[in-house]
Amino acid sequence: MIKENKLKYIISSFIIILPFIVSMFVKGSVDDMMKGAWYFAWIMPLALFGLHTALLVISRRIDNVRQSDKIENLIFFMIPMISLYVGAIFIAIMLGLEFNIGMVIGVVMGISFIVMGNYMPKAKRNATFGMKIKWTLANDDNWAATHRLSGKVMVIAGIASFAISFLPIIAFFIAFTVIIVTMVTIPIVYSYCFYKNQIKTGAATEDDYKNGITLSKKAGASIIAIIAVSLVIVILMTFTGGLEFKLGDEALTVKPTLGGGIELNYSELKDAEIEYRDSKVPGTRVMGYGSAKLLYGQFRNDEFGNYTRYTYTGSESSIIIRTGDSIIVLADETAEGTLAIYTELMAKISAFE
């Protein structure tokens, strides 16, 4: 698909990496609020660029169905638009703007569902775009009927996503999960019922449904390879990594193994309010990294509002640093380690001239 649409590929790829280009020129409160979070400004668009390219290559390997220009444009520009939107949100965060992350997700997914819902009925039967289940892939009538219904369901899901974007964050994610499950389940059940009705009325036979679209061995192997690599990356990012706390002569440096970091100069910390707590600091991730092992980036809670944290997920104690308008939370893997960092940090600040 790339060879036949070189200009579209160049334009769509440029849109994906545009947030990275813009982030290099963003200045201001990033030093206070996001300390080292530039990592997230470029890793997201570069990862989406890789995904975008891989999907376009695989789509040509899977089937040669020529879609309409509208469907083709949607395939080419869906990921670039997501990158542009999310990148703009992240840059806004780096500039110090505050907003509800639930509202951000609700709006972008709502728009995406409505756009895709309007395009779903226009797609021809293929193995890359649409409701790719065995009954739709095996029968044109089943494909058309299921995608007409699926389009309506997606539009309703998009409107519902807008409606729930004003809910508190936990309630939003529960409601959003229900929307996703419902949006996927209804077309699948309908497609199965349509298939059963065709068999019952004689509109189609079991043999007809055995002659659906099948994947070549190369295409199947490519999909399995991408899924396997993706799973390995997700597992590694979820359960590995660490934080290195280095108390140098002039500054405390925190470096996550997965990228980013923060440097706090003792000269700046002399006037800061620094507190040790024998408890966790709660927070909802606004933009940053969260896994079973680590939590860092920008978070938010009722006590601090927006704050920056570099902690282990299971940390039972924490160091709170209030400097200027910024609040930074640090925590080692153990309470003993966190207390040792706090003790040495206070000694370094007191001795610094």
Residues 149 and 290 in one domain: no
Where a domain ends, among 180, 214, 238?
Answer: 238
pLDDT of residue 66: 61
Please check whether residues 138 and 112 belong to one and the same domain.
Answer: yes
**Residues 276-280: contacts with CB under 8 Å, at least 24 apart:** 276/317, 276/318, 276/319, 276/320, 276/338, 276/339, 276/342, 277/317, 277/318, 277/319, 277/320, 278/316, 278/317, 278/335, 279/316, 279/317, 279/318, 280/315, 280/316, 280/317, 280/318, 280/331
| Domain identity same for 215 and 278 | no
3-state secondary structure of 155: helix
Do residues 83 and 166 share a domain?
yes
Residues 200, 343, single domain; the answer is no
Same domain as 182, residue 276? no
Task: Note the pLDDT tens digit of each residue in 247-264.
Answer: 999 999 998 887 667 889
pLDDT of residue 303: 92
Give 108's contacts (C-beta < 8 A, 6+ positions apart): 82, 85, 86
* One domain for residues 231 and 249: no
> How are beta strands 284-290 and 294-301 bridged, if at all?
antiparallel
| Structural domain of 75 | 3-238
Do the beta carbons of residue 133 and residue 191 sit within 8 Å? yes
Which of 216, 238, 260 corresponds to the end of one domain?
238
Of 311, 308, 306, whose CA–CA distance to 335 is shortest?
311
Q: Which of 214-228, 257-271, 320-334 has the lowest mean pLDDT?
A: 214-228
Say what the pLDDT of residue 343 is.
96
Q: How far apart are CA 100 and CA 166, in angstroms?
A: 8
Same domain as 194, residue 131: yes
**pLDDT per residue as tens digits for the range 30-55:** 444 444 445 555 667 777 888 888 77
Q: What is the pLDDT of residue 32?
A: 41
Q: What pLDDT sits at residue 312?
A: 95
- Residue, of 105 and 336, whose pLDDT is higher: 336
3-class DSSP state of 112: helix
Rg (alpha carbons) of the chain, rounded to whole number: 25
If asked whether residues 118 and 223 sit together in one domain, one would say yes
Q: Which pTM was predicted?
A: 0.62
Q: Is the pLDDT of residue 226 over 90?
A: no
**Boundary-marking domain end, from 182, 216, 238:** 238
Same domain assignment for residues 39 and 188:
yes
Instruction: Please give the tally of structural domains in the chain.
Output: 2
Same domain, residue pair 153 and 56: yes
One domain, residues 261 and 168 = no
Q: Which residue has the tokens 């083709």?
A: 72
What average pLDDT does the chain have?
82
Q: Out of 220-234, 297-311, 338-352, which region has the weakest mean confidence (pLDDT)?
A: 220-234
